[in-house]
Amino acid sequence: MSDISAVKALVFDVFGTVVDWRSSLIADCTSFGKARGVTADWTALVDAWRQAYMPSMDVVRHHPECGFVKLDTLHRQSLDVLVAKFGINGLSDDDLHHMTLGWHRLHPWADSVSGLTKLKTKYIISPLSNGNVALLTNMAKFAGLPWDLIMSAELFEHYKPDPQAYLGAAALLNLKPAEVMMVAAHNSDLDAAHKLGLKTAFVPRVTEYGPHQNRDFKAEGPWDVVADDFNDLAKRMGC
């Protein structure tokens, strides 16, 4: 473990790192379908919805001249395409809005709240997520996530891995990049942060994608801390 004595704040990837988006959304959509009498392969829909996540953000990242589009809007645009592709008929605008807000109702991993609560005793803790501010705020209320503040790509109008997101978070906290630690279950996220001078911590979530998981089973870079879960991370960070 490298020198992390200067770290004052930990910022977290959220989808997959803090919350179990896949199981949460499958359960949310399945419950919705039963209530509305709609039959569909909700598991396949959720997996396809997540697959649309990065490409939809890349369009925004690569075409700044078109303006920033928040993630709630991108999720809804992707859902509109997918319900047609999956032949799911009879859904109202309110139904589609409810489904989109499923991303606000994601459940935390079992160690997330306890680990964050411990880390909060010594460090500033915040999401640094591509989720928009309303999404992250509602999720925190729903899941009991004890953030000190909410930092979102929406604030910087740049999705990760654009440098503006990582450096913008440090600037908002009035900290140097080396005083901020990025925590993620994704090596690519940590690689982007590391290249900009942030400290890094890897926490594996090997069931994030269920049977489709094909990466991020282990740390694959020179990360400052590698922990088993958030409680272990808190221990390694002196909490």
Helix, strand, coil fractions of the chain, as percent rounded to 5:
50, 10, 40
201: number of Cβ within 10 Å: 25
Determine the longest span between alpha carbons in the chain, in angstroms: 57
> What pLDDT, on a 0 to 100 scale, did the predictor assign at position 65?
87
203: number of Cβ within 10 Å: 25
Q: Which tokens sit at 66?
A: 């078109």
How many Å apart are CA 67 and CA 162, to the nearest integer? Answer: 15
Q: Can you give the pLDDT of all 239 residues of the chain as single tens digits?
A: 578 999 999 999 999 999 999 999 999 999 999 999 998 999 999 999 999 988 999 999 888 888 999 999 999 999 999 999 999 988 999 999 999 999 999 999 999 999 999 999 999 999 999 999 999 999 999 999 999 999 999 999 999 999 999 999 999 999 999 999 999 999 999 999 999 999 999 999 999 999 989 999 999 999 999 999 999 999 999 99
> What pLDDT, on a 0 to 100 scale, did the predictor assign at position 54?
87
How many Å apart are CA 165 and CA 155, to the nearest integer? Answer: 8
DSSP-based three-state secondary structure for 47:
helix
Q: Which tokens sit at 46?
A: 């959720």
> What pLDDT, on a 0 to 100 scale, did the predictor assign at position 64?
87
DSSP-based three-state secondary structure for 39:
coil
Q: What is the separation of C-alpha 107 from the centre of its chain, rounded to a whole number of angstroms?
A: 12
8 Å CB contact between 104 and 138: yes
> What pLDDT, on a 0 to 100 scale, did the predictor assign at position 175?
98
* Strand 225-226 relative to strand 199-202, pairing: parallel
Q: Could you write out the DSSP letters of every residue in 147-179?
A: -SS-EEHHHHT--TTSHHHHHHHHHHTT--GGG
Question: Which is nearest to 190 in space by CA: 213, 154, 160?
Answer: 160
DSSP-based three-state secondary structure for 183:
strand
How many Å apart are CA 10 and CA 198, to the nearest integer? Answer: 10
How many Å apart are CA 113 and CA 95, to the nearest integer? Answer: 30
Whether residue 64 is preceded by a cis peptide bond, meaning omega within 30 degrees of 0, is no
Q: Which tokens sit at 196?
A: 């900009």
> What pLDDT, on a 0 to 100 scale, did the predictor assign at position 1?
54
